[in-house]
């Protein structure tokens, strides 16, 4: 697989030392810090909300960048024939730039006013997008572009060219690849920097975003790992025409004053399945409060998307202020990595794609498909779940993607659809403290 490292000379040495194969791209330190922040190829397809495909750019720097003479270019996942869209104008610091692409036959909603218009029909699932500081079309036969004019690249799904060690996620008609941190995340690895989410196109009229950590931390919660830096609430939840069976927990957020400050921060049911890295399913909790919480006699409970039989995993011990708590569940036949040392162990076999998880103050099994009891501290329905908080269930995860609560686990708008995104699973146990001093 190909790589696009951030500093070519440095990576040459790394490649020599560690025997990695890869692609040497431009020295990014010499390039304006503009990145591809969102890619969506499902526009107008069956089930799509938006009528057009699109590519979105973001300016991570503190200076205005001129795009005259630049292009975005697209090729299929394994292709070597590129199509281009020419760019004009500028992107101010923290600004977004929306490039409309081909229109499909479906969809009900146009994009916000685009800053550039192309006509590239993009794949909904897999492909390659490169941002170039050149007008010339990439040479026919180029499967993985390199050189000083390569500003940024994302390969997603089954792409044969991508930045870092893994491509971005595989997409579908209803989901886009979104760069984490509102565009700020830049580890140099597509697999770590992008997550699957509902498309949320932003243009030059969108509110600018400052990548300074101090400007974006909604709570005193420190991003302990780059994949999970705070995204906060700037991604608007998609509209929905009807609400299915729902329950809304009335606990105020994000202030959490007078409430139990525990939240379900991560759910992963693909453990040990085909393509999975980890051998076990898991559920993760986070304590957003300033004092430890005793969970002796509590439980997490799981039911299928439409089921009313709840499987109980008892909890014990305490969760320190700002700490995480990892609950290991059933083991699958595959996977290569064990979880970090779990804080509680259950045997629940969770679905990789759809289900319901409740954090309960007590160990008595819940009894309804959509339970309503004051014992429930937090509740998440995902995929095709018929019970959830707010306007809809969280997105559908997979064997390789889990559900992560936004804002380092801090975002809680009482709407599962708005509060979670899908991303590679990253289990954290209670030895990690997320809070700053």
* pLDDT tens by residue, 40-55: 999 999 999 999 999 9
pLDDT of amino acid 410: 87
Closest CA to 300 of 289, 315, 287: 315
CA 80/CA 295 separation, integer angstroms: 55
CA 345/CA 328 separation, integer angstroms: 5
CA 319/CA 293 separation, integer angstroms: 5
DSSP state of 221: B
Q: With a cut of 70, say whether residue 249 has pLDDT above it.
A: no
CA 277/CA 115 separation, integer angstroms: 39
Domain boundaries, the chain: 8-211, 262-423
pLDDT of amino acid 22: 34
**179, 62 contact by CB (below 8 A):** no
pLDDT of amino acid 62: 92
The listed range with the strongest mean pLDDT (1-10, 66-75, 159-168) is: 66-75
Mean pLDDT of the region 177-206: 89
The listed range with the strongest mean pLDDT (14-18, 57-61, 387-391, 418-422) is: 57-61
Mean pLDDT of the region 20-35: 49
Mean pLDDT of the region 423-436: 65
**Which token pair is 313?**
């995993």
Q: With a cut of 80, say whether residue 130 has pLDDT above it.
A: yes
**Which token pair is 191?**
């697999």
Mean pLDDT of the region 375-402: 91
Report the chain's terminal Cα–Cα distance, integer Å.
41
- 135-153 pLDDT, tens per residue? 999 999 999 999 999 999 9
Mean pLDDT of the region 16-25: 34
9 or 116, higher pLDDT: 116
User: Lowest mean pLDDT: which of 108-112, 214-218, 325-329, 363-367?
Assistant: 214-218
**Which token pair is 325?**
């708590």
CA 179/CA 190 separation, integer angstroms: 9
Q: Compute how many other C-beta atoms are within 10 angstroms of the C-beta atom of residue 224.
A: 17
Cis peptide before 219 (omega within 30 of 0): no
Distances (CA, A) of 240 to 54, 112, 171, 243, 391: 22, 18, 21, 7, 7
pLDDT of amino acid 117: 98
Mean pLDDT of the region 418-428: 88
Mean pLDDT of the region 415-434: 77
DSSP state of 110: P
Closest CA to 422 of 314, 214, 305, 268: 268
CATH number of 8-211: 2.60.40.1260
Strands (E), 8-149: 34-40, 52-59, 65-66, 71-75, 83-86, 90-91, 96-103, 116-117, 127-132
Q: With a cut of 70, say whether residue 73 has pLDDT above it.
A: yes
Mean pLDDT of the region 128-139: 97
- 268-314 pLDDT, tens per residue? 999 999 989 999 999 999 999 999 999 999 999 999 999 999 999 99
Q: With a cut of 50, say whether residue 371 has pLDDT above it.
A: yes
CA 24/CA 275 separation, integer angstroms: 28
CA 395/CA 376 separation, integer angstroms: 22
Mean pLDDT of the region 395-406: 89
pLDDT of amino acid 31: 58
**117, 89 contact by CB (below 8 A):** no
Mean pLDDT of the region 327-349: 95
CA 153 to chain centre: 18
Closest CA to 389 of 418, 411, 364, 361: 418
pLDDT of amino acid 429: 65
Q: Are strands 34-40 and 52-59 parallel, antiparallel or unpaired?
A: antiparallel
Please tell me whether the overall predicted TM-score, pTM, comes out greater than 0.85 for this model: no
Residue 266: pLDDT band (50, 70, 90) is very high
Q: Which segments of 85-135 does DSSP mark as H helices, in order? A: none
DSSP code per residue over 296-324:
TT-EEEEE-SS----EEEE--SEE-TTBE
262-423 is classed CATH 2.40.30: no
Q: With a cut of 60, say whether residue 226 has pLDDT above it.
A: no
CA 313/CA 327 separation, integer angstroms: 8
Domain 8-211 matches domain 262-423 at the CATH topology level: yes
pLDDT of amino acid 75: 97
**DSSP bridge partners of 267:** 283, 403
């Amino acid at each position: 697989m190909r790589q696009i490292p951030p500093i070519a000379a440095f990576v040459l040495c790394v490649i020599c030392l560690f025997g990695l194969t890869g692609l040497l791209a431009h020295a990014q330190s010499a390039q304006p810090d503009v990145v591809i922040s969102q890619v969506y190829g499902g526009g107008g397809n069956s089930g799509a909300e938006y009528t057009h495909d699109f590519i979105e750019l973001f300016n991570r720097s503190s200076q205005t960048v001129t795009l005259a003479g630049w292009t975005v270019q697209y090729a299929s996942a394994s292709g070597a024939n590129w199509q281009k869209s020419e760019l004009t104008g500028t992107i101010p610091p923290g600004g977004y730039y929306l490039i409309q692409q081909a229109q499909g036959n479906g969809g009900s909603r146009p994009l916000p006013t685009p800053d550039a218009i192309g006509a590239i029909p993009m794949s909904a699932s897999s492909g390659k997008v490169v941002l170039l500081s050149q007008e010339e079309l990439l040479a026919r036969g180029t499967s993985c572009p390199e050189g000083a004019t390569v500003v940024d690249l994302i390969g997603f799904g089954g792409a044969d060219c991508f930045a870092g060690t893994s491509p971005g996620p595989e997409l579908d008609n209803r989901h886009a690849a979104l760069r984490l941190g509102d565009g700020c995340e830049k580890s140099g690895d597509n697999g770590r920097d992008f997550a699957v989410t509902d498309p949320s196109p932003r243009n030059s009229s969108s509110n600018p975003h400052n990548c300074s950590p101090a400007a974006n931390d909604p709570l005193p919660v420190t991003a302990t790992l780059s994949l999970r830096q705070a995204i906060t609430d700037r991604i608007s939840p998609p509209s929905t025409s009807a609400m299915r069976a729902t329950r809304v927990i009335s606990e105020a957020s994000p202030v959490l004053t007078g409430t139990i400050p525990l939240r379900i921060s991560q759910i992963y049911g693909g453990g040990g399945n085909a393509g999975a890295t980890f051998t076990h399913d898991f559920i993760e909790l986070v304590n957003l409060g300033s004092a430890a919480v005793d969970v002796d006699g509590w439980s997490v409970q799981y039911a299928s998307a439409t089921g009313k039989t709840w499987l109980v995993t008892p909890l014990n011990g305490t969760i320190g202020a700002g700490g995480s708590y990892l609950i290991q569940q059933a083991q699958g036949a595959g996977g290569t990595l064990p979880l970090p040392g779990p804080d509680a162990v259950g045997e629940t076999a969770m679905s990789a794609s759809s289900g319901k998880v409740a954090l309960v103050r007590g160990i008595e099994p819940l009894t309804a498909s959509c339970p309503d009891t004051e014992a429930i501290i937090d509740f998440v329905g995902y995929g095709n779940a018929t019970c959830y908080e707010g306007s809809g269930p969280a997105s559908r995860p997979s064997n390789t993607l889990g559900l992560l609560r936004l804002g380092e686990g801090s975002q809680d708008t009482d709407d599962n659809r708005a509060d979670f995104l899908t991303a590679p699973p990253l289990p954290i146990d209670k030895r990690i403290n997320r809070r700053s001093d």
